[in-house]
């Protein structure tokens, strides 16, 4: 499926959409905090939290009001300046086509995905990896090896 996602953002939108991924070593390492910092640099960018689940239909939920969920990642994205914030969840094999549809529909100049599960398949223009202590998530080493920037947040 990696080839399905390759250059998706360039194939549909004239190549003017910039795809950024933020992945990380483990939960709580600071991925959302890095997304917030990137949104401060790219106000109006669309931010997407990706959650792979063992099973179930794909769901795309747009966060509309930061006051309804200020502690959720999507609420934090809006508070940091995102033009829109989405939660994309589903079985791993269903996420790539759903991400492709979201990229096409968003019509944004910059899309920032917080994801380990799609970090390699999206073929981002810029890939960040947040390193840190703790047990390493499955697949995190592959994300780290492909990242353009490895950061450690304190």
| pLDDT tens track for 18-51 | 999 999 999 999 999 999 999 999 989 999 999 9
Q: Domain range spanning residue 125?
A: 19-98+117-152
Of 120, 119, 100, nearest to 9 (Cα)? 100
Q: Helices (DSSP H) in the chain: which residue ranges?
A: 2-5, 8-11, 31-41, 73-79, 95-106, 140-146
Q: How far apart are CA 86 and CA 74, in angstroms?
A: 6
The pTM assigned to this predicted structure is 0.87
Residue 124 located in a structural domain: yes
Q: How far apart are CA 136 and CA 105, in angstroms?
A: 33
Structural domains in the chain (count): 1
Residue 88 located in a structural domain: yes
Residue 111 located in a structural domain: no
Residue 106 located in a structural domain: no
Residue 134 located in a structural domain: yes
Number of Cβ within 10 Å of residue 2's Cβ equals 10
Residue 56: band (very low, low, confident or very high) from pLDDT cuts 50, 70, 90: confident
């Amino acid at each position: 499926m990696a080839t399905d996602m390759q250059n998706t953002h360039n194939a549909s939108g004239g190549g003017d959409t910039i795809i950024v991924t933020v992945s990380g070593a483990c939960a709580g390492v600071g991925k959302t905090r890095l997304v917030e910092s990137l949104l401060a640099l790219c106000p109006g960018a669309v931010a997407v939290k990706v959650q792979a689940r063992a099973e179930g239909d794909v769901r795309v939920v747009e966060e509309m009001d930061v006051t309804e969920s200020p502690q959720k990642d999507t609420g934090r994205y809006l508070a940091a300046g995102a033009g829109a914030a989405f939660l994309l969840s589903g079985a791993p094999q269903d996420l790539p086509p759903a991400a492709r549809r979201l990229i096409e529909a968003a019509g944004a100049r910059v899309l920032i995905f917080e994801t380990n599960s799609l970090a390699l398949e999206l073929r981002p223009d810029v890939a960040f990896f947040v390193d840190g202590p703790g047990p390493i998530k499955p697949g995190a080493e592959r994300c780290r090896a492909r990242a353009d920037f490895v950061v450690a947040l304190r």
